[in-house]
Homo-oligomer: A and B are copies of this chain.
Amino acid sequence: MSTQVSAGKHTVEQVEAVTIRFVGDSGDGMQLTGTEFTRASALAGNDLATFPDYPAEIRAPAGSLYGVSGYQVNFGAREIHTPGDAPDVLVAMNPAALKTNLADLKPGGMLLVNAGAFTAANLEKAGYKTNPLEDAALTQTYKLVPVDMNKLTETALAGSGLSSKEVARCKNYFALGLMYWLYSRPIEPQLEAIQRKFAKKPEFAAANAAVFKAGHAYGETSEVFYQRYQVPKSKLAAGTYRSVTGNFATALGFATVARLTGRQVFLGSYPITPATEILQEMSYFKEHGVVTYQAEDEIAGIGSAIGAAFGGALACTSTSGPGLALKTEMMGLAVITELPLVIVNVQRGGPSTGMPTKTEQADLLMALFGRHGEAPMPVLAAQSPADCFWSAIEAMKIATKWMTPVLLLTDGYLGNGSEPFKIPSLDELPKLQVKYQTVPNYADGAQYMPYLRDDKLVRPWAVPGTPGLEHRVGGLEKDSLSGMVSYDGMNHERMVKTRAQKIRNVVEDVPDVETFGPASGDLLLVSWGGTFGAVRGAAEELQARGKAVSHVHLRWLNPLPKNLGEVLKRFKKVFVPEVNDGQLAFYLRGKFPGVDPLQFNRINGKPIKIGELVGKVLEVL
């Protein structure tokens, strides 16, 4: 849906939503360009979602295929659930970037290319025998706009006194200026942002501003564009927003917990892609009551957190697949001691080291079942970058309320992707109460029994420093009252069942699932975690096409929401799309005998695409 208005010598087309992908060499500053453009879209009141796609190498050789770095943003006047399927516009800064990304561009889409980078050397590095820009097929399939940004940047900076290397570094601002023009963005905020960013290096501030303006002017003056576009404000709820990645949101959530409770939040962690940013970001929240500890490995990461939890801290640990594997034994200890702890697992491509920089949802069964012995724990999964904030708070709330470790699953796509986060007012935040036992609880106040439970089966939490409540916890099976070692068989059976029942009781804090769409119908899409956006998008599209398709999203995987079994049975078919080989589908079969979901499994390191999913659903409807 688009409408035409006129602006200056160019028409301005109004569009509902646009997906743009910036791609270039690792050194081309594409992440910055993408982020800056995203901010402009946010300030313009669009809803949006982004997805950066880094190369696995830190800094690959210039011009190489594997050194291409990309940033995709989807912004719109309507609700945006994902960073978009195929981009409408591809901004490619060199041949390698073109080669690796062209196939994704929508047929008829705009292809803005830095023609200056299409030198013989670069073409060869990208494996092009001939210059693709001279290929007629390209112009037939796409709206090709070749611009020699290298030269135009040089021209803009002639006499600036910068070295040619420094000049070359500015060219991403040319592309950014051009895109500002194309999407009718006001340039002042960007100019201010440049001043802020380069406050300490005014010569670079001036240079980048000049190049940015040159790019903008080029749009206006050159004859290559016939129209501009405008994406109207979306109907986002009123409020103040900021853009957050999932990892930042997770960190922010934990820091918020520290503020809400006035207690220390302790993160024991070890760096691992794509979870490292949680540790990094939290180390900036010291003034809010966050203590971070970079341990020698993942085992010590969670170990330090359990130690801190014993001491009364609100403890958490963050990692990704291989690290979660290493924490397995420790998680069992947290289960049997019944200490509160949040384990964040930012899933990535597996198995083993796998594809660290790519996303996947293949740790679900491990999260649910990957511990020896009977060691159940609550598991929840964030559904979007901003939801990581709410999930972190919720996980910590459950952990402390129920005295249990909680596993929070996110993934590389959520962790690195971003979206607008509506800053909550203080009373929108959950009430968090953390209370320690301070007096004996047994034999008329003569004794402390660390495993004496309340009616919800929760044990008390007494911390060192509390006189009279000295006690011991440990990994051996324990007496159901005193916590002392017990090898009694029936005590063990009772403890196993009690721990399991306690976790089942958590269901009282798990909201029922809401069905998006009619309460019954032909097909129910069931998703969990990071595929929320794509599946919701697909559901909307299918509903728009008049299909009797609804959508249920699971934030809680254990316990499963009370009403889920019933909801599933109201549909002729249940369809589970996942970025794995069918883990939720298997789990649902095991949990709801009779339910046998259809599956769609994409395991190519990327989020599921709405279009692809719609197609698959149509096939089986």
Contact bitstring A327-351, B, C-beta under 8 A = 1, else 0: 0110011011100000000010111
Q: Determine which of B328, B351, B489 lies in contact with A358 in the assembled complex, contact meaning CB atoms within 8 Å.
A: B489
A590, closest chain B residue (CB): B590
Q: Distance (Å) between the CB of A528 and the closest chain B CB?
A: 16
A352 touches B586 (CB 8 A): no
Asked if A434 is at the interface (CB within 8 A of a chain B CB), the reply is no
B487 touches A358 (CB 8 A): yes
A322 touches B326 (CB 8 A): no
Count of A interface residues, CB-CB < 8 Å: 68
B496 touches A603 (CB 8 A): yes
B493 touches A355 (CB 8 A): no
Q: Which of A134-142, A309-317, A367-375 contacts the other chain?
A: A367-375
* Residues in A249-306 with C-beta less than 8 Å from chain B: none
Of A329, A586, A589, most B-chain CB atoms within 10 Å: A329
A351 touches B366 (CB 8 A): no
Of A55, A66, A352, A603, most B-chain CB atoms within 10 Å: A352
C-alpha spacing A77/B337, complex, angstroms: 48
B373 touches A354 (CB 8 A): yes
Q: Distance (Å) between the CB of A498 and the closest chain B CB?
A: 11
Q: Distance (Å) between the CB of A91 and the closest chain B CB?
A: 21
Q: Determine which of B349, B369, B595 lies in contact with A477 in the assembled complex, contact meaning CB atoms within 8 Å.
A: B349
Asked if A573 is at the interface (CB within 8 A of a chain B CB), the reply is no
Asked if A605 is at the interface (CB within 8 A of a chain B CB), the reply is yes
A334, closest chain B residue (CB): B352
Q: A326-B328, A605-B489 are in contact. Are A476 and B372 (CB under 8 A)?
A: no
* Residues in A480-537 with C-beta less than 8 Å from chain B: 485, 487, 489-490, 492-493, 496-497, 500
Asked if A56 is at the interface (CB within 8 A of a chain B CB), the reply is yes
B325 touches A371 (CB 8 A): yes
* Residues of the B chain whose Cβ atoms lie less than 8 Å from the Cβ of A596: 593-594
B590 touches A372 (CB 8 A): no
* Residues of the B chain whose Cβ atoms lie less than 8 Å from the Cβ of A325: 328-329, 332, 371-372
* Residues of the B chain whose Cβ atoms lie less than 8 Å from the Cβ of A500: 581
Asked if A353 is at the interface (CB within 8 A of a chain B CB), the reply is yes
Q: Distance (Å) between the CB of A329 and the closest chain B CB?
A: 4
* Residues of the B chain whose Cβ atoms lie less than 8 Å from the Cβ of A55: 487
Asked if A423 is at the interface (CB within 8 A of a chain B CB), the reply is no
A586, closest chain B residue (CB): B590
B373 touches A606 (CB 8 A): no
Asked if A108 is at the interface (CB within 8 A of a chain B CB), the reply is no
Q: Distance (Å) between the CB of A239 and the closest chain B CB?
A: 37
Contact bitstring A581-593, B, C-beta under 8 A = 1, else 0: 1000011011101
A329, closest chain B residue (CB): B325
B372 touches A350 (CB 8 A): yes
Q: A593-B595, A604-B489 are in contact. Are A373 and B358 (CB under 8 A)?
A: no
Q: Distance (Å) between the CB of A598 and the closest chain B CB?
A: 12
Q: Distance (Å) between the CB of A32 and the closest chain B CB?
A: 23
B604 touches A492 (CB 8 A): yes
Of A328, A333, A356, most B-chain CB atoms within 10 Å: A328
Asked if A468 is at the interface (CB within 8 A of a chain B CB), the reply is no
Q: A373-B350, A492-B349 are in contact. Are A357 and B603 (CB under 8 A)?
A: no
A352 touches B492 (CB 8 A): no
B332 touches A475 (CB 8 A): no
C-alpha spacing A544/B366, complex, angstroms: 43
Asked if A580 is at the interface (CB within 8 A of a chain B CB), the reply is yes
Give 14 pairs: A residue, B residue, CB < 8 Å, sorted on A: A322-B372, A328-B370, A333-B352, A337-B352, A351-B371, A351-B375, A352-B375, A352-B476, A355-B477, A362-B372, A370-B370, A374-B580, A590-B590, A593-B593
6 smallest CB-CB distances across A and B, nearest first, come from: A350-B373, A489-B604, A590-B590, A321-B372, A351-B373, A353-B475
A interface residues with partner B (beta carbon < 8 Å)? 55-56, 66, 321-322, 324-326, 328-329, 332-333, 335-337, 347, 349-358, 360, 362-363, 365-366, 368-375, 474-477, 485, 487, 489-490, 492-493, 496-497, 500, 580-581, 586-587, 589-591, 593-596, 602-606
